[in-house]
Structure 1
Amino acid sequence: MNKDYDGAVKSAVRVVRVFELFEAERRALSVQDIVDALGMPQSSISSLLKTLVNEGYLTRQRDTRCYLPSERLAFVGHWALGAPGGMAGINRLMTHLSERTGEAVLLGAQSGLQMRYVSMLDSPHSLRFSLRPNQTRPIHGCGMGVMLLTRFNDTEIGAMVRNYNVEFTTKPTNMTEAQVLENVAVARRQGYFETFGMVTEDVGTISTLLELPREGRALAIGLGGPLARLDPKREWLREILLDQARAFVEDQQRAAANRVSESGGSIIRT
């Protein structure tokens, strides 16, 4: 079996990769575009795209014969962010931060023992912090992951570090439990966490937490860029990030409270 599908359902992996390609490219794609990018057989891609169109998750443009994600796909899973308009609110937040700072804006979520980048906006600078959606880092080994760990107690965090080394034997952490706990303590105290080449040499991030109103869930959001450009304006970047994140959380909490109030204290289902 191809190592890319080891232990996974091949068709499911292909669907995910097609969706991730659209997220990365953010434009209409032809069958050949997808084949070239993913290195999959054209017959398989054609059948897969036809199925996704029939199920309502992609649309096909008649004039160009290219494909785009449908409105249906855009709404799948949006409820997980809690308040109505949560997805639109996050997009506005990221766009505003990108325009104000000119640096990469990163959004991450916990994925087991890892932190997964779920969305990002690249910096317009030629020298920039560049990642791809769905890329992962050890949750304790990056700034955004450290912020996500602030929601756990020290005993839980220690267990996660130990379990990571057991589960990911090919890429063990080079950080001790004590170092991880020290980083988390700093992040708890400050409400943000800054890195100076923690993951990539000469690259830094400034991260904070986005608490979501649904079931105590949270995302991490950060600004990233070359240290040479970040360091002279860290205080300014930090202030913008924290102010905008705080405003977003307050708006989401207010919207969630209004929704419960309007439904008489319970969610109305139709």
Structure 2
Amino acid sequence: MPALSPTTNRTMAVFEIFAREKRALSNSDMARLLSVADSSCTDLLHTLHVLGYLIRTPRTRRFYPSGRLYETARQIAENDPLTSVAQEAVDQLLEKTNESAYFGVLQSTTVKIVAAQQSRHPLRYIIDVGSRIPLHASSLGKAMLGLLPTDELPATVEKLSMEQYTPDTVVDVKRLLEEVERSRALGWYEGRSEAAEGVSGLAVSGWLSGLPVGISLGGPIDRIDRNRDKYLEALHEVRNSLLSDN
């Protein structure tokens, strides 16, 4: 059976301490915060310095993470499989529907948008990557709720801040629960003028490497209504090709 590597654990702890302390640290500082002998810490910090992951301040000779650490993390993030799949999903949806398409990940009581493609129609709905949208007032949010086990759903909904964004926003817990269960049986979710007046959204959800995720289309209510069947077909095609049921 694999065992934890003490050296790896200590190395990662070094960077977590820098993130927490937000300042350059001496060898003695780090040894104290790691609860290790100065001699053990000396070898660790020296190795990270030689590898280019730490720099030393000219006057005090204290250590601090270098730009190499940031650049390495940036390159890893650029090739994150989640980002690649999310971008592929919204690209496909835009191609199939020419409606604004979004890919979201469940984060606590919101959905974080990690990829988006905007419709080429003059009248379109826009949400920026990085935005967080409410679970109770959007098709994508409801799709995230639909991934929860039935016995966990009520407790989660009770914790939501049910802000009323428009006259059509569902703020009643019982009504929201009923809507999510009904939509789960249908296999798709809808939001009609709930987060923004005059805007409709359709969404489906699934799992990506154990993460609860969803994809959605958004636009003017009349256009979404006219193309509902076509858009739902596109959503399910993309979902089935990229996501799993568990």
Provide TM-score, normalisation by structure 1: 0.58
Offset of residue 70 of structure 1: 5.0
Offset of residue 179 of structure 1: 1.0
Change (3 A) 1:87 1:138: closer
- In 2, the alpha carbon distance for the partners of 1:248 and 1:123 equals 21
Offset of residue 231 of structure 1: 1.5
Q: What value does the CA root-mean-square deviation take over the aligned residues?
A: 3.1
- In 1, the alpha carbon distance for the partners of 2:93 and 2:230 equals 12
- In 2, the alpha carbon distance for the partners of 1:53 and 1:231 equals 53
Tell me what 1:124 maps to.
120
1:96 is aligned to 2:92: yes
Tell me what 1:237 maps to.
231
Tell me what 1:142 maps to.
138
Which of 44, 55, 60 does residue 68 from structure 2 map onto? 55
Give secondary structure in 2 for the equivalent of 1:164: coil
Tell me what 1:30 maps to.
none
Deviates more, 1:131-140 or 1:222-231: 131-140
Offset of residue 101 of structure 1: 0.9
Offset of residue 212 of structure 1: 1.7
Give secondary structure in 1 for the equivalent of 2:227: helix
- In 1, the alpha carbon distance for the partners of 2:77 and 2:66 equals 11
Which of 177, 180, 187 does residue 184 from structure 1 map onto? 180
User: Quick one: percent identity of the two aligned structures?
Assistant: 21
Give secondary structure in 2 for the equivalent of 1:106: strand
Offset of residue 228 of structure 1: 2.4
- In 2, the alpha carbon distance for the partners of 1:181 and 1:73 equals 36
Q: Which runs of 5+ in 2 are unaligned?
A: 1-19, 23-63
Deviations 1:163-205 (A, max 9, x none): 224xx8999x851111111111122101111222121111111
Change (3 A) 1:101 1:53: farther
- Contact 2:136–2:142, Cα closer than 8 Å, also in 1: yes
Give secondary structure in 1 for the equivalent of 2:214: strand
Alignment length, in residue pairs? 182
Give secondary structure in 1 for the equivalent of 2:133: strand
Deviations 1:31-51 (A, max 9, x none): xxxxxxxxxxxxxxxxxxxx9
Tell me what 1:267 maps to.
none
More helix by share: 1
- In 2, the alpha carbon distance for the partners of 1:136 and 1:70 equals 22
- Contact 2:202–2:218, Cα closer than 8 Å, also in 1: yes
Tell me what 1:211 maps to.
207
Write the letter of the residue equivalent to 1:220. G
Offset of residue 232 of structure 1: 0.9
Which of 209, 212, 222 does residue 228 from structure 1 map onto? 222
User: Rg larger in 1 or in 2?
Assistant: 2
Which of 45, 70, 75 does residue 71 from structure 1 map onto? 75
Provide TM-score, normalisation by structure 2: 0.64
- Contact 2:164–2:170, Cα closer than 8 Å, also in 1: no
- In 1, the alpha carbon distance for the partners of 2:198 and 2:65 equals 42
1:106 is aligned to 2:109: no
